[in-house]
Amino acid sequence: MKRTILKIVLCALFAAPVLSRGQDATNFTMPMPPPPQVAAAAEIPATNAPAPAKPKPRTTLAVTGKVSNVDTNAMTLTIGKRTFDITSETRISKSGKPAILSDIVVDDKVGIAYKKAGDKFNAVTIKDAMKPEKPAGETNSVSEQK
């Protein structure tokens, strides 16, 4: 028991200076470092940040209109005054299904995505705007079903 009391007293003696300094912490002034120097706007060196990216020019253009001529021998399709060349990469669709050039007829309304190569217009895709025909017996609206 005496040993325990002795240990407590010794701990208190060693802790007393620490506790008393903790109370004086509000009066203690520590030297503060000087604030960082801020350079004027003219003195700030330019960063080597990359310039904003320029938008890429469109490589594919589009046009819609009625077909005025289809030449399966020359592999061309004409809308108004503009003639489009059909290449092996050209994708043709009619009524939402794959098609060939001979499936497109004069006065069909088509949409063409094309690329300009010099003075030529190479068709990339040709979509016939013809709506798919309904199979016999199918109806679409509720009023037709009654």
pLDDT greater than 90 at residue 18: no
- The domain ranges of the chain are 61-128
Is the overall model pTM greater than 0.95, yes or no? Answer: no
61-128: CATH homologous superfamily?
Answer: Copper binding periplasmic protein CusF (2.40.50.320)
Residue % of the chain over a pLDDT of 70: 67
Report the pLDDT value the prediction gives residue 56, as an integer from 0 to 100.
72
Mode of pairing for the β-strands spanning 82-94 and 61-71: unpaired
Q: Which two tokens stand for residue 42?
A: 């003219």
Contact criterion met (CB below 8 Å) for 114 and 63 = yes
